[in-house]
């Protein structure tokens, strides 16, 4: 439970102009990086890291946390407006955010993304602070088989985001798995599908695949539309603002997606992208209008954004309490702590409780600044939506190319982006959904890694997956989730069939 | 597998390119099945190196790719059977317009040409040409707008990525903009001049 006296000391530790200024600067930099395709949160943190060498520990963490929290939200702005996820975490937001923008509800989508992010960020930080010691002890029980079971559960999301046809969704997922296998095998380092090209050894980057899957098909589709159209088409309309009633109506969605995102955030190695898709999936699963998902519903944006932003607070828990970074960004944050003489691990909370609570309070401060900066970005967005598509999409193509190249400075990524883009367009013409492809690409390497580690531990026996309560629970949940999704899909199909006959 | 019934039953002879047709489903399913089978029988044996001690085990680097290819083949076969059945029942189904496919193909060719252009002429020059061509393709006919965007956008991106983010841009086969790199020297000289002249100016003012 929270020690209020220590919390008071932590508050006085962070309430200095230096810390607040550093946090605000981090938020502004994180927003810039988030909305720029190709610049990821990890790049922003790494670029800022050398500046922190000359700062106090709390000031440097304030700067880095500001970037960390904001870059996750920033990626959704471009995802909603121009179908280009600024960061991989924003891919799930695109599924409903971009259709909303096309319906002339850009402002509602952007505001929902911002407020869902803030809500989930606050809730997940409260969860992280409250259950900090408990989560730390549970995280220790997660070995390879348990993480494998969690990933299997997460993979059932594929059926939920397959749109009208689960069969097509599964086929897309198979392609996603296969593309994810390009490069070195995670255990032995054997080359797979590299065809002797050295640049393939490192595999495909997630941002390359996401830009290829979502941005290039949109550019091609808009080109066909623009060429035939005689009128000037703009990117969209800002439309009405989100009402407080609309925001409140999605509270159960925020809560569910926050819980899902917090769980994945607390587990090392999963990160924000799976959490965003889990949040989206949970929103759809419990929605009264699941048919509207993928066509532009605020609930989808709320679920995805709540899911990915719920990762921030809980991801710090295993990093600070066990010394296990949840993802690459938290690994850099851990490095910053070490540089300032703090040793993340079980003794950190005992030795530096004021600092630990200070870190969580800084998350709240970052979220407040995110609210201010995010509102400013939404005001600027009204100028962007007035740009004609005849100008916007050629510019998007160039930005996407620079962004994709910048991630790893290799032309192979640009070639892959165009290749996946053309594949994505062909998939789009037959309504083969892109989201399962993306999910499989994200989760595939994690799944294989944990599966093979488990099999090495058990000398090839599958019994290892049924020896712990955690893995059995998640495998049962996965089975139930898969069966339920197929059943619900069948039932919805049935109701459609009934409507057709009636009509 | 659901279908956009309204469009499928449409009396129009053509449908939008984004509307799936039973014919398209058959082609897509056949291609997916081909990919699955080719992956299992041709690509994996050739392109996945398996250490001898792991041949045939679940821990082999080829195990999961094979499982995925089998799944892909099985799912694609099901998709093919279903789509053939739908194709037979579809009757004189409307087709998407050939001109739409040509336009989409042209845009895809512009993207592919852009990549080839980057390799040959460099990112900045190829981007300038590509953005100009794409703007024209998208219907923009004002030359001033096209020229302004084609010059300012790649120049800004070059400055941002090469000079601020310090990202090494790809080296082209034909380094057309190479001579312009000499301008960097002028830039440095200007900066030094300004840096030295400012204190002098301050001294004179005092």
> pLDDT tens string for chain A (503 positions)?
667 777 888 888 888 888 899 999 999 888 887 776 656 677 677 777 777 777 788 888 889 889 888 888 888 888 888 887 777 778 888 888 888 988 888 889 999 999 999 999 999 888 888 876 666 666 667 788 888 888 888 777 777 677 678 888 899 999 999 999 999 888 888 889 888 888 888 888 887 888 888 889 988 988 888 887 767 666 667 788 888 998 999 999 999 999 888 888 777 666 677 788 888 888 888 888 888 888 888 999 999 999 888 888 888 887 787 666 666 677 778 778 877 778 776 677 777 888 888 888 999 999 999 999 989 888 887 777 778 888 888 988 998 898 888 888 889 999 999 999 999 999 988 888 888 898 888 888 888 888 888 888 888 788 888 888 888 988 998 888 788 777 766 765 555 444 443 33
Residues with Cβ within 8 Å of A95's Cβ and at least 6 positions away in sequence, in order, are A161, A280, A293, A294, A300, A304, A435
Which of the 8 DSSP states describes residue B160? I
Tell which residue, A366, A392, A377, A421, has the closest CA to residue A204: A421
Query: pLDDT category, B9, cuts 50, 70, 90?
Result: very low
The interaxial angle of helices A166-180 and A435-457, nearest 10 deg, is 60
The Cα B127–Cα B32 span in angstroms is: 34
Instruction: Judge contact between A85 and A75, C-beta under 8 A.
Output: yes
Indicate the burial class of A103 (C-beta count within 10 angstroms; 0-12, 13-18, 19 or more).
middle
Q: Whole-angstrom Cα distance, residue B32 to residue A151?
A: 26
pLDDT at B34: 95
Q: Can you tell me which residue has the tokens 């959490």?
A: A275
Q: For B64, which of A164, A229, A448 is closest by C-beta distance?
A: A448
pLDDT digits (tens, 9 = 90+) for B151-183: 999 999 888 888 877 788 887 777 666 655 555
Which tokens belong to B186? 């002028």
pLDDT higher than 50, residue B110: yes
Q: Is B51 an interface residue toward A (CB < 8 Å)? A: yes
- pLDDT at position A503, please? 39
A-chain residues within 8 Å CB-CB of B168?
Answer: 409
CB atoms inside a 10 Å sphere around CB B90: 17
Cβ pair A226:B49 closer than 8 A: no
CA B150 – CA B162 distance, rounded (Å): 18
Query: Could you give the number of structural domains in chain A?
Result: 1
Helix (H) or strand (E) holding B95: strand B95-96
Mean pLDDT for the stretch of residues B8-22: 64
- Rounded to whole angstroms, the Cα distance separating A104 from A18 reads 41
Reduce the DSSP state of residue A184 to 3 states and report it: strand
The gap between the terminal CA atoms of chain B, to the nearest Å, is 82
First to last CA, chain A: 59
A178 contacts in chain B (CB < 8 Å): 39, 65, 68-69, 72
The set of long-range contacts for A361-365, using a CB threshold of 8 Å and a minimum separation of 24, is A361/A7, A361/A10, A361/A11, A361/A14, A362/A14, A362/A19, A362/A23, A362/A58, A362/A61, A362/A62, A362/A65, A363/A65, A363/A69, A363/A121, A363/A125, A363/A312, A363/A313, A363/A316, A364/A122, A364/A125, A365/A14, A365/A20, A365/A23, A365/A62
Q: With beta carbons less than 8 A apart as the criterion, state whether A411 and B116 touch.
A: no
Given this model, what pLDDT does residue B4 score? 41
A192 to B71: CB separation less than 8 angstroms, yes or no? no
Whether A216 sits inside 8 A of B96 (CB atoms) is no
Tokens 């530790």 found at:
A13
Residues B39, A178 contacting (CB under 8 angstroms): yes
- Please give the pLDDT value at position B10: 43
Q: Is A490 exposed, middle or buried (0-12, 13-18, 19+ CB in 10 A)?
A: exposed
Cα Rg of chain A, angstroms = 22
What is the three-state SS of A153-179?
HHHCHHHHCCCCCHHHHHHHHHHHHHH
Closest CA to A76 of A126, A122, A114: A114
Print burial letters for A308-340: b (CB count within 10 Å at least 16), e (below 16): bbbbbbbbbbbbbbbbbbbbebbebbbbbbeeb
Q: How far A431 CA lies from chain B's nearest CA (Å)?
A: 6
According to DSSP, the residues that pair with A183 across neighbouring strands are A192
When pLDDT is cut at 50, 70 and 90, the band that residue B1 belongs to is very low
Mark which residues 5-44 of B lie under 8 Å from A by CB: 5, 17-18, 20, 24-25, 28, 32, 35-36, 39, 43
Taking Cα atoms as reference points, which of B24, B89, B26, B71 lies closest to residue A169? B71
- pLDDT digit string, tens, across residues B55-68: 667 778 888 999 99
B18 pLDDT more than 60 = yes
Of the candidates A126, A157, A115, the one whose C-alpha atom is nearest the C-alpha of residue A302 is: A115
Sort out which chain B residues have CB atoms less than 8 A from A229's CB and list them.
139
CB pairs under 8 A between A and B: 194
Give Cα A502 distance to the centre of its chain: 42
Would the CB atoms of A391 and B75 count as touching at under 8 Å?
no
With beta carbons under 8 A apart, name residues in chain B contacting A398. Answer: 127, 130-131, 153-154, 157
* Confidence class for position B30, pLDDT limits 50, 70, 90: very high
**Distance between CA atoms of A299 and A287, rounded to whole angstroms?**
8
Please report which residue ranges of chain B form alpha helices under DSSP H: 5-8, 22-38, 44-47, 63-90, 98-121, 123-137, 143-158, 183-205
Query: What domain range is A305 assigned to?
Result: 4-502
Q: Does residue B57 belong to the interface with chain A, where contact is any CB pair within 8 Å?
A: yes
Cβ neighbours of residue A23 under 8 Å, at least 6 residues apart? A62, A63, A65, A66, A362, A365, A366, A369
Better pLDDT: A384 or B136: B136
CA distance A319 to A343: 10
Cβ distance A418 to B161 less than 8 Å, yes or no, reads no
Distance from CA of A472 to the nearest CA of B (A): 21
Rounded mean pLDDT of chain B?
80
User: Above 90 in pLDDT, residue B69?
Assistant: yes
d(CA A413, CA A396): 17
> What backbone phi and psi angles, to 5 degrees, belong to A205?
-85, 145
């Amino acid at each position: 439970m929270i020690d209020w006296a220590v919390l008071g000391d932590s508050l006085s530790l962070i309430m200095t102009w230096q810390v607040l200024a550093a946090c605000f600067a981090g938020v502004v930099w994180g927003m810039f990086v988030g909305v720029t395709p190709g610049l990821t949160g990890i790049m922003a943190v790494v670029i800022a890291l050398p500046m922190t060498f000359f700062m106090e520990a709390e000031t440097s963490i304030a700067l880095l946390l500001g970037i960390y929290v904001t870059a996750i939200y920033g990626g959704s702005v471009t995802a909603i407006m121009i179908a280009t996820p600024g960061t991989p975490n924003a891919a799930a937001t695109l599924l409903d955010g971009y259709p909303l923008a096309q319906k002339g509800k850009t402002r509602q989508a952007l505001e929902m993304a911002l407020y869902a992010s803030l809500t989930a960020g606050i809730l997940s930080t409260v969860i992280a602070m409250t259950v900090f010691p408990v989560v730390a002890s549970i995280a220790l029980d997660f070995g390879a088989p348990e993480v494998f079971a969690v990933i299997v559960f997460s993979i059932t999301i594929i059926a939920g985001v397959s749109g009208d046809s689960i069969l097509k969704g599964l086929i897309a997922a198979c392609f996603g798995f296969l593309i994810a296998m390009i490069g070195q095998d995670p255990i032995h380092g054997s080359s797979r599908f590299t065809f002797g090209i050295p640049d393939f050894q490192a595999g495909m980057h997630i941002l390359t695949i996401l830009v290829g899957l979502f941005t290039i098909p949109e550019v091609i589709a808009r080109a066909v539309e623009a060429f035939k159209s005689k009128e000037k088409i703009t990117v969209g309309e800002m439309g009405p603002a989100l009402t407080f009633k609309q925001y409140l109506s999605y509270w159960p969605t925020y809560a569910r997606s926050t819980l899902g995102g917090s769980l994945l955030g607390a587990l090392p190695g999963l990160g924000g992208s799976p959490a965003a898709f889990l949040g989206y999936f949970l929103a759809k699963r419990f929605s009264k209008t699941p048919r509207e998902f993928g066509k532009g519903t605020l609930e989808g944006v709320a679920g995805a954004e709540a899911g990915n932003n719920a990762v921030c607070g809980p991801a710090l828990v295993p990093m600070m309490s066990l010394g296990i970074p949840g993802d690459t960004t938290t690994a850099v944050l851990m490095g910053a702590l070490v540089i300032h003489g703090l040793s993340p691990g079980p003794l950190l909370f005992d030795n530096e409780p004021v600092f630990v609570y200070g870190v969580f309070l800084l998350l709240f401060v970052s979220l407040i600044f995110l609210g201010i900066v995010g509102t400013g970005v939404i005001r600027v967005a009204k100028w962007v939506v007035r740009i004609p598509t005849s100008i916007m999409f050629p510019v998007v193509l160039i930005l996407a190319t620079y962004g994709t190249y910048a991630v790893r400075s290799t032309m192979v990524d640009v070639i892959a982006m165009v290749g996946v883009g053309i594949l994505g367009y062909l998939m789009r013409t037959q309504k083969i959904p892109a989201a399962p492809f993306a999910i499989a690409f994200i989760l595939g390497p994690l799944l294989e890694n944990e599966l093979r580690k488990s099999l090495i531990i058990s000398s090839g026996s599958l019994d290892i997956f049924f020896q712990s309560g955690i893995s059995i629970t998640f495998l049962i949940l996965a089975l139930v989730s898969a069966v339920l999704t197929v059943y619900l899909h069948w039932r919805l199909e049935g109701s459609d069939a009934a409507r057709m006959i009636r009509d | 597998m659901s279908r956009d019934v309204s469009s499928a039953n449409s009396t129009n002879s053509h449908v939008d390119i984004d509307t799936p047709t039973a014919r398209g489903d058959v082609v897509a399913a056949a291609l997916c099945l081909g990919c699955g089978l080719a992956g299992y029988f041709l690509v994996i044996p050739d392109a996945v190196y398996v250490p001898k001690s792991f041949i045939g085990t679940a821990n082999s680097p080829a195990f999961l790719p094979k499982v995925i290819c089998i799944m892909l083949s099985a799912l694609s076969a099901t998709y093919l059977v279903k789509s053939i059945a739908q194709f037979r029942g579809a009757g004189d189904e409307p087709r998407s317009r050939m001109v739409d496919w040509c336009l989409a193909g042209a845009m895809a060719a512009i993207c592919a040409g852009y990549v080839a252009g980057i390799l040959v002429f460099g990112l900045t020059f190829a981007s300038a040409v590509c953005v100009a061509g794409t703007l024209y393709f998208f219907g923009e006919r004002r030359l001033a707008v096209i020229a302004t965007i084609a010059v300012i956008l790649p120049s800004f991106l070059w400055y941002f990525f090469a000079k601020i983010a310090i990202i090494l841009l790809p080296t082209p086969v034909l380094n057309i903009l190479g001579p312009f790199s000499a301008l960097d020297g002028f830039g440095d000289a200007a900066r030094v001049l300004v840096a030295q002249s400012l204190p002098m100016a301050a001294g004179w003012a005092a």
